[in-house]
Structure formats: structure tokens, C-alpha cells
Amino acid sequence: MPIFNLTDFSAHLAPGARLLGLDPGSKRIGVALSDVTRQIASPYATLLRAKLKQNAAEIAAIAAKEGAGGLIVGLPLDDEQKLGPRAQAARDWAHNLSNVTGLPVAMVDESFTTADAHERLIAAGVSRERRAEVIDKMAAAALLQRALDLLRAG
């Protein structure tokens, strides 16, 4: 499947289908899940980064279990908000993931999601050890919430 912009992406979603937000890093993939009304994003899981086939199977299993009909993947733009090598690698990964899982995908700028999640967790007094356990899925939730807000705004 192609990578869709958010407007075209929403046309490919079944009513009531949830969305999965994915924040792919070099070692882990943060996963977040929307509610059925696509209003609220919640942290869901952290997957260890592996071969695409294995990660795609894990993501497809989560999507099937939770009734997710589409994927929102983080797009790491460079400091000038342009597509650099990391963004191209993320686009290639998202495209391949969509092809393997059969789920439509849209990409959303992930700038500052991890940094913002770190700041919120530090402000909440969360220990360094606990932050390391939850940061990826918190960043995925921030990314997915950004996409949900953009979808609602039209």
C-alpha cells in the first residue's frame, strides 16, 4: 500500500477502527493505541526492533487483537524540518510495513515527541529506570495524539 497523507488516510479507515501509533527507533518501537472514536491516544507497548518480518507480525497481531485499521508512523524530520536520511529510512520502513501487514499507513512529524515525553516523566518524578521502560510508548502516544488532533481538525 502507498503511504497516505492524513486526509486520504482517513478515507481508507473503517468506522470504529482504532489506530496504532508507531515510534520506530534503532533499538525499540514504541506502540500506542487510539480509542474507537479516534479521540484519545494511550501508550500500549514497546517492541524490540528486529527484522521487518518479525516486527510486522507483532504489529499485525496487535492490530488484529485491538481492532486497529491503520498505522500512524513517526517521521523524523531534520533540524530544518526537511526529509533527511533518517526520514527516508522511516518512510521505507513504513511502506514495507504497510505492504506486509496490509494496513494503510500515514506518517506524522515526530519532532520532539521523545524529548517532550522525557520532560513530562521527569516533571512527574518518574525514576530514570522507569522512564527507560516507558519512554518509547509514551512518545508513540504523543505522536498518535498529534495525528488524531490533525485528523479531527480536518
Structure confidence by residue, pLDDT tens digits, 124-137: 777 777 777 778 89
Cell triple for residue 14? 473503517
Q: Burial level of 11, CB count in 10 A (0-12/13-18/19+)?
A: exposed
Tally the C-alpha atoms within 13 A of residue 9's C-alpha that lie toward its C-beta.
Answer: 26
Instruction: Determine phi and psi for 150, rounding to 5 degrees.
Output: -65, -40
Q: What is the pLDDT of residue 33?
A: 98
pLDDT digits (tens, 9 = 90+) for 44-102: 999 999 999 999 999 999 999 999 999 999 998 766 767 778 888 899 999 999 999 99
Distance of CA 135 to the CA centre of its chain: 13
- Other beta carbons within 10 Å of 42: 14
Task: Break the chain into its structural domains and give their ranges.
Answer: 3-153
More confident residue, 34 or 128: 34
CATH assignment, 3-153? 3.30.420.140
Instruction: Determine phi and psi for 19, rounding to 5 degrees.
Output: -120, 145
The model's pTM: 0.89
